[in-house]
Each structure stands twice: as structure tokens, then as C-alpha cells.
Chain A
Amino acid sequence: MTDLLRITDVEVEYRFRGRGRVRAVAGVSLDVAPGQIVGLVGESGCGKSSLARAAVGLTAPSAGEVRYAGRPVTPLGWRRRPGAEIGLQMVFQNPYASLNPRRTIGAQLLDGVAETVTGAARRDRVGELLDRVGMPAAAADRYPHQFSGGQRQRLAIARALAPQPKMIIADEPVTALDASSQAQVVNLLVGLVRDLDMGMLFISHDLALVHEIADVTAVMYLGRIVETAPTRELWRDPRHPYTRALIDAVPQIGPTPRLPGTLAGEVPDPANAPTGCRFRPRCPHAFAPCGDQPPTLQLGGRSAACWLNDPTVAPAAVPAH
């Protein structure tokens, strides 16, 4: 299976006048195949959105490469996207980032429909797109503010679908919604991936939600991917202490109150990333080798960047899980 989206050793840097630079993404590789949902999780500020913007070509990576359908994605200010890249679309957390409040939904959907579709067929496409996201055809004549948050997000998805993309990058598409609206939007996205054989990179800080839908989950910490595994395996048997901590922090329903596990400290400022393993200051298992940055170890269909997985240095008594 060839990858639809291939992110290789990507770095994203932000420069500040006088204050040097911040490396928000510090060497990330990630692949998404057609029909596959890859979840990307991590705490606020770890670089998820920075990676997403580089992946769709909204910003230029300072190093590394992004390929979509085998061709390099070219960063382009506000220039029109070359035909081949229209297949790569993004859905943002804030639907207003993709919907203009002053234009009708119909007009905005039409913008995305290919110019080769003409006449009455264009109008029909608008109806089809609204139907796909479970909205009535009458929505075409209304404005974004006339819809609830969940409905607006569905309309933003319709806008992203207008050019018939093969790959969707969804950056926290349901974070602002309550559970039922979340489920509606998430089921819609998953259905599209399955029906149309699209690829999807689904970014979220909600690990439980990603657990339900992603085929593969990548965990990001301070600009790096620390663990990647098929989702069920990751949840059942995490190999990185940070993954473990994220899972333990998810509040669970049970017969008596039970507080979720807490993780010491805060995500450090990426401008002052710790040396060695970046998770070291918060890691309950840190040991001598952690003063050096752990390589990403291949563990048979999954990978983790933690010294505990290296039998040549890890004390046998300390499991990562």
C-alpha cells in the first residue's frame, strides 16, 4: 500500500525578533495511507497544529519533506493551489477559519467545486455536499452564524469536501463541542474515510476519542513523536511513559469516584527543551541513559522513543507499562 501522505523528518521553526527561534516541530515522520485514519495526540503546545499546517503546505517546514500522492507539497502563501494538491484539505478547530461569516453557505461551497463542473450540475453538487454532512438543502441560503457549533463544523467539513479531496487533515475538529455533537461530527468524518477511501490525519488532545476511531495513533511530546502503534495496542500496552500518563489521565466512569492519575510538572517551553530525553523532567522512570536523547526504536509494527525499550541499557525490573 503506497502512502497518500508522507511526512519525513519535518521540522518547523518560528523566529522571534531578538529572541532567537523556537523549534515547535523537531523532526517528525508520519505516514497516512488511503482509507486509513491516523490519530495524532499530545498536550497543548506540543506542535500538533504546527505539523498540520506544514503538512497541508500552509507553512514551509524548516527541514524535512512532505509528500502528497508521491509529489512534494509546495508551501504557497495565498497563491492558488496547484491542481494536484486540491486533493489535500484541512478542517480547523474553529469553523470560522474555513467559513466566511458574510457569505452564504451555498456560495462558499461553490467556491470549492471544480471549474470543470458547470451549469446546473454545480448547483446539484451543493445539494449533494450538504446531504453528505447531514444538512438540509435549505442551509445553502443561510449564513454561518445561523447554525449551532456542531452544524457549523459539519458545514466546514462540506467546504473541505467540495474539491473532492483524497486526504483530510482535521485539527481538533470537535474540541469545542459537547459529546453528542462530537459523536455526530466524528462519525461523519469516519464514514467519509470509509466510503470514499480517503486518508485522514485526525489531531486531537482527546485520547479516548482517538481510541475509538483511529487505526494508528501517534503520540507527540514537545515537538517529537514519542510513540506510534496500532491504536488498540497502544492503549492496551503503551511503551512510552508519556503515553501511559496520558491514558491514566482520562477520567473513567465507575461505581465510585476515582480521580484520574496526574502527571508531575508542565510541558516545558519548546525554546528551553530539556536535553536528553525531552520527557525526562516529568518521567517517573527516568534513569541514567535518559541524559541522551533516545532513538526511535522499532518494536515490530510499532515504535517508541524511550530507553526502557532498549534491552541493552534498560534495567529488566522497570517496565514502561
Chain B
Amino acid sequence: MAPLLDVDSLAVTLPGPRGPLPILHDVSLTVDEGELVGIAGESGCGKSLTAQTLLGLLPPGATVTGSARFAGTDLLGLDNRGWRRVRGGGIAMVFQDSTAALHPMLTIGRQLTEHMRVHLRMDRRAANRRAVELLDQVRIPDPERAMRAYPHQFSGGMRQRAAIAIALAARPRLLIADEPTTALDVTVQAGILALLDRLRAETGLAVAFITHDLGVLSALTTRGYIFYAGRVVETGPTGALLTAPTHPYTAALLGARPHGTQAVGTLRPIPGGPPAPGEAPPGCPFQPRCGYAQPSCGTAPPPLAPAGADRSVACVVRPHLEVATR
């Protein structure tokens, strides 16, 4: 069966002050029906730009090559009407900052029903009924009352739930969630992760979950993509990816995070930061920060190559990596 979302060799260039800036290079990824897929990497590695490309939300002047097919539709060939149709029922999105997605002056109920009346052409009564149902589905207590509340009367976790309810209003088949829990408490985050997992189980929703927290990636998703400098550098089943990484960058990300139960009192930051767009070195983009670099790393960006069961890695050296058990 063809994947629900099939992105192949996607490249995105944005206009910059001194000429075009290459942001995404040769990104390929798939999401199956009802699958929970994770995308992780440091800030600025192109995670959000990938999401924006899949929702037709790139800034003006962007050039896109490659292909992106969603349920048989070629996304990159869509006009504005086509994009509205995809956003109205195929792909939906939730963002890190749910306050930005919610209008501060309108009640939650109004925002939910407006969306349904415009995109789904429902009448007021049906929209109201569905809105209450949605708020209940995302576990907002007392949905009837919540309909009359304004966003500022909700806590951060409730606002994020409301944003998810709005995203679900049009019954999307794929939800792209861009760091939806980064700003939330772990307790609230746990509730949102459980909610997404339940929606997948109950409605067959597929979720592409973007995060920079590898713990979240492991807890929720079954397959993961590690992004670096606008490229996929490693992909595979999340458990294997994070317990036995094969790319030095994945291993370095694991070393930088707190260890949870097995705290060791040391965090090992990756020296420096990811290259700015257009400033990546000619070879492997991770080379300046990589402890395993060899002269052969400097010639061309390593392509993503198969590396065992359902896994691929973009590294020419493939060093033996020590990973602390946790």
C-alpha cells in the first residue's frame, strides 16, 4: 500500500539578503495511515520548514523541487484552492505556540464552529454539536462551559488541547504537530502525548511529531527521522534509532540530554552549533562538530544509505559509537 504521505528528494530554497539560501536538501520521508512518525534535530535544522512545505505555508519567493504526494495528490503542484482543500480535510497542523493559533478576542466555541462552518459548510447547530464533541475528545473538562471561555482563561495545556480540537475539526488524516509540547510542563506534555496516541488508535489519525526532545520521540513514535542542517541524516524504527544510533550526530544528541533515571551528573554538549543556511561545509555538514571525522568526510555530503533493518544513515565513516545505556 502506498504511504499516506510520500516526500521524495525535497529541496527548498528561500530568498536571503545576499541571494537564495538553500534550507532543505534532498529530504525524503514517508508517513503511513495511522502511523506516529517523529522528526527531531536541533533548532534551525529545517524541521518547521519541512512542515510548512507540506501545508503550503512557505514564505513568498521560496523555490521547491522534488515531490510530495499526499493520498495520491501531488502537493507541490497545488494552486491556492487545492491547498485550501488539503488544509480543510487532509492535513492539519498544531504549533508550539498555541496562543498564536488562537484568537484572543473570540471564544473557543466561536473559533471551533467558525472553522467548521467555513471549511465544512456545517450549519450552526451541527457545528456546535461537533465542537462540544471535539472538546470532549481532547479531554477538556466541562466542554459546554469551555465553549464560552476565551483563550486566556485556559491554562497552557488546555490551550494546546483546544488548538488540537480545532485542528481535528475537519477530520484530517494527517496531523503535523510542530513542537506542540515544548513549552509545556512534563505533566501536561504527558497528557498531550497520551491524547495523540489515543486519537491514532481510535480514529486512525497519522501524526508527524516534530520535537527536539529525544525522550518525547522515543515515548510516542514508532519511526523517526533525525534532521541536521536541512538533511535527513538518520532514519529507522525509533527504538533502534535511539538505543543503537549509527550516525555520530544522533549519538551526540543523546549525549547532550539529561539521562533520566540513570543521571550521571554530566551533560555532553555538542561543541558549536549547526551551520547557518548556505554556510555548511562542502562535505558532511556535521564534520566541524564530529569527533569521528576523517579526510573522506570532506568531499561531498554523504547520501542516506541503507544500514540494517528499515534503517538508513548518511555517514561515510560509520564509526563504532559508544552510547550510554539509559
The residues of A with any CB-CB pair to B shorter than 8 Å are: 43-45, 148-150, 177-184, 186-187, 205-209, 211-213, 231-232, 235, 245-246, 249-263, 266-267
Q: A180-B269, A259-B197, A266-B157 are in contact. Are A253 and B254 (CB under 8 A)?
A: yes
Using CB atoms, name the residue of chain B closest to A42: B185
**Complex Cα–Cα for A250 and B187 (A):** 8
Q: In the complex where A181-B273, A250-B215 touch, is A209 in contact with B258 (Cβ < 8 A)?
A: yes
- Residue B78 CB within 8 A of the other chain: no
In the complex the two chains form, what is the Cα distance from A246 to B239 in whole Å? 23
CA distance A258 to B187 in the complex (A): 15
Known: A207-B186, A253-B326. 13 other contacts (CB 8 A): A43-B187, A179-B257, A180-B252, A183-B268, A208-B259, A246-B187, A251-B218, A253-B242, A257-B218, A259-B219, A261-B190, A262-B190, A263-B191
Chain A residue nearest to B181 in the complex (CB): A251
Which residues from chain A contact B158 at a C-beta distance below 8 Å?
A: 266
Docked-complex contact B261 and A252, CB < 8 angstroms: yes
Is A252's CB under 8 angstroms from B219's CB? yes
**Which residues of chain B have C-beta atoms less than 8 A from A251's C-beta?**
186, 189-190, 193, 213, 215-216, 218-220
In the assembled complex, B34 has its CB within 8 A of some CB on chain A: no
Closest to A210 in B: B258
User: Quick one: which of B156, B191, B214, B265 contacts A179, CB cutoff 8 A?
Assistant: B214
B253 at interface, CB cutoff 8 A: yes
Q: Which residues of A contact B43 (CB under 8 A)?
A: 148-149, 177-178, 181
CB contact between B218 and one of A178, A187, A253 (< 8 Å): that residue: A253
Determine whether B246 belongs to the interface, using a CB cutoff of 8 Å to chain A.
Answer: no
With both chains docked as a complex, state the minimum distance between the C-beta of A308 and any C-beta of chain B, in angstroms. 20
Against A, the Cβ 8 Å flags (1 = close, 0 = not) of B216-240 are 1011111000000000000000111
Query: Is the pair B253, A179 in contact by a Cβ cutoff of 8 Å?
Result: yes
Query: In angstroms, how far is the closest chain A Cβ from the Cβ of B162?
Result: 13
Quick one: closest B residue to A253, CB to CB?
B218
Asked if A254 and B239 make an inter-chain contact with CB atoms under 8 angstroms apart, the answer reads yes
Q: Which residues of B contact A205 (CB under 8 A)?
A: 185-186
Q: What are the 4 A-B residue pairs with the smallest beta carbon separation, nearest first?
A: A183-B269, A251-B215, A183-B267, A208-B258
B263 proximity list for chain A (CB < 8 A): 208, 211-212, 231-232, 235
A263-B213 CB under 8 A given contacts A179-B253, A212-B266, A256-B239: no
Q: How far is the CA of A251 from the CA of B158 in the complex (A)?
A: 20
A246 touches B219 (CB 8 A): no
In whole angstroms, how far apart are the Cα atoms of A41 and B296 in the complex? 46
List residues of chain B with CB within 8 A of the CB of A213.
Answer: 265, 267
> Considering the chains assembled together, what is the distance between the CA atoms of A148 and B252 in angstroms?
20
Question: Taking the complex as formed, is B307 at the interface, i.e. its CB lies under 8 A from any CB of chain A?
Answer: no
Contact of B190 among A180, A257, A263 (CB under 8 A): A263
B1 interface hit (Cβ, 8 Å): no
**A253 near B42: Cβ-Cβ < 8 Å:** no
Asked whether, in the complex, the Cβ of B270 is within 8 Å of the Cβ of A235, the reply is no
Judge whether A249 and B258 touch: CB under 8 Å: no
Q: How far is the CB of A139 from chain B (nearest CB, A)?
A: 14
Name 8 interchain pairs, CB-CB below 8 A, sorted by A. Answer: A44-B185, A150-B273, A180-B253, A208-B259, A246-B187, A254-B218, A255-B243, A260-B186
What 1/0 mask marks residues of chain B from 165 to 203 whose CB sits below 8 Å from any chain A CB?
Answer: 000000000000000000011111111011001000000
Q: Cα distance A235–B259 when bound, in Å?
A: 12
List chain B residues, Cβ under 8 A from A257.
36, 218-222, 238-239
| C-alpha gap A208/B258 in the complex (Å) | 6
- The docked-state distance in angstroms from the alpha carbon of A90 to that of B197 is 40
CB <8 Å contact, A206 and B42 = no
Bound CA span A150–B252, Å: 17
Q: Please indicate the chain A residues that have their CB under 8 angstroms from the CB of B186 in the complex.
A: 205-207, 246, 249-251, 260
Q: CB of B321 within 8 A of chain A?
A: no
Asked if A253 and B260 make an inter-chain contact with CB atoms under 8 angstroms apart, the answer reads: yes
CB of B193 within 8 A of CB of A179, answer no
Docked pose: A181 CA to B221 CA in angstroms: 24
B212 within 8 A of A: yes
Complex-state Cα separation, A208 to B158, whole angstroms? 24
Residues of chain A within 8 A of B190, CB atoms compared: 249, 251, 259-263
B264 contacts partner chain A, Cβ-Cβ < 8 Å: yes
Q: For B243, give the chain A residue with the smallest CB separation.
A: A255
